[in-house]
Structure 1
């Protein structure tokens, strides 16, 4: 969980502790007895070590005679949840809806800063490459299979590569050129697509060679949208970062990653080497 989410949860716990003491419950044990909870649950909530459900808030406010702040505290709980969105919940109805919601963020953004050590960024993906990745998402999270519809929504993002005064600053790890999604033909098509996109004046594509000296450890992939939002993806959840101090950390991290990247002709050489690698690979059925 992000520092911002942890801080918000800790602050909420301290506030709930104050309400408990104001209501005359001098110990967590007494409050646990009144609510029918385990004493350990009360302690974890008050110390920001456990997420608080909306029902927990209702019980807490009712027990401490703080009903007038119930709605406010529930809103706080929902905000904390949004900072750390579990993929199983986000993708419960399939992947298309998540792709659709991302379009609004793209519409508002003028400067994109993208880091991915192992996979080609979604907006640079070919339809074939994207569909393979969405089928993997469907399988991993056991969600409705809408890979084709999700792919179509992802491809809509590409219109922003040609519209408005936007800049796309993208850094990939060299492994992204070799991570095999769909076989040799799909990969060669994806690599050719990268060669085409890097010719766009608004696209600045860097690759970090696998043996390049690093100024900072690679870490998770992340996407920066201007200086107002960072999205960080893990296997279990997507982290939303909006706190200025945390965004500044990602700004510095991206600058350090760029120091290890190569550009222009060196990028074309790396892509061509990867293309030749897949060109030598037997096609399916051979």
Structure 2
């Protein structure tokens, strides 16, 4: 099984590029002729048509003006902006600060009835304690070379996490056992985080599974961190970007992968035993 988390974004970009190329061809213009009418170099036309450079709204207006397709301007601008929203670099997302980034997810979580989360390296965001979240977000700030407002962002993340207590939502979360040993913050912060997992795993709306490191003959190797919002959106976290997947066939593949991972996990008393063992290892 091979999953390409950026293919939905690329497919959307290519769709916009194809529509623009068709407009040029239907207008009987060469690449050079269109570039001349738009007052830019012909290489820019080629980059846009080959989906290597996303067109700006001004580019699309010029393109449609040159090809006599002014009636398609707004639709193409909307399609291009949607395509770019599927792949969003963290550097762009955090320009207004880490706290604003946390707040931006609230409506998405509120609109989700069933959230499936898989994480091979971190405690899922909705189950993070303030100390753990603060250490994680501070590390991210240093990596991205941005101002460190981790304390405010961690507080916002905890406010967002209250959704697990609101009616009408279900949360199925699966982590690798290694997550319990990757220490963020000091030992006290990590112990508090692991202790909270013991409580959170017993919440009525939460199913928390842990895939033991001792699992033999795994049916799927560890994957990237991802969330499945109902059956309509998959959000994948990469080092450099967040990839939002909306293509039904890819969503189905992620759900299939999640089910394989979920079936390898242990729950209830067995999961608690793994968490307690990790707590003991901190001493």
TM-score by length of 2: 0.90
Number of aligned residue pairs: 278
| 1:234 partnered with 2:228 | no
Q: CA deviation at 1:254?
A: 0.5
| 1:111 partnered with 2:114 | yes
Give runs of aligned pairs for residues 148-187 of structure 1, distance below 5 A: 148-187=151-190
Tell me if structure 2 keeps the 8 A contact 1:93–1:143.
no
Aligned to 1:63: 66
Aligned to 2:133: 130
Tell me if structure 2 keeps the 8 A contact 1:123–1:154.
yes
Give runs of aligned pairs for residues 48-127 of structure 1, distance below 5 A: 48-127=51-130
CA distance in 2: counterparts of 1:16 and 1:160, whole angstroms:
42
Q: CA deviation at 1:195?
A: 0.9
Of the candidates 4, 17, 34, which is equivalent to residue 8 of structure 2?
Answer: 4
| 1:273 partnered with 2:277 | yes
* Structure 1 gap ranges (5+): 280-286
CA distance in 1: counterparts of 2:37 and 2:110, whole angstroms:
51
Aligned to 2:46: 43
CA distance in 2: counterparts of 1:61 and 1:204, whole angstroms:
51
Q: CA deviation at 1:38?
A: 4.4
Q: CA deviation at 1:68?
A: 3.2
Aligned to 1:284: none
SS at match of 1:168: strand
CA distance in 1: counterparts of 2:202 and 2:13, whole angstroms:
46
Of the candidates 225, 228, 233, which is equivalent to residue 221 of structure 1?
Answer: 225
Alpha-carbon deviations, 1:221-256, whole Å to 9, x = none?
011222222211111111112332222111111101
Of the candidates 201, 205, 210, which is equivalent to residue 208 of structure 2?
Answer: 205
CA distance in 2: counterparts of 1:55 and 1:163, whole angstroms:
44
Moved more, 206-215 or 95-104: 206-215
Tell me if structure 1 keeps the 8 A contact 2:112–2:169.
yes
Of the candidates 198, 208, 214, which is equivalent to residue 195 of structure 1?
Answer: 198
CA distance in 2: counterparts of 1:234 and 1:227, whole angstroms:
21
SS at match of 2:105: helix
SS at match of 2:219: coil
Aligned to 2:248: 244
CA distance in 2: counterparts of 1:22 and 1:199, whole angstroms:
61
Tell me if structure 1 keeps the 8 A contact 2:9–2:244.
no
CA distance in 2: counterparts of 1:103 and 1:129, whole angstroms:
20
* Structure 2 gap ranges (5+): none
TM-score by length of 1: 0.89
Q: CA deviation at 1:33?
A: 4.7
Aligned to 2:19: 15
Q: Which runs of 4+ in 1 moved over 6 A?
A: none
Tell me if structure 2 keeps the 8 A contact 1:82–1:240.
yes
RMSD over aligned Cα, in angstroms? 1.9
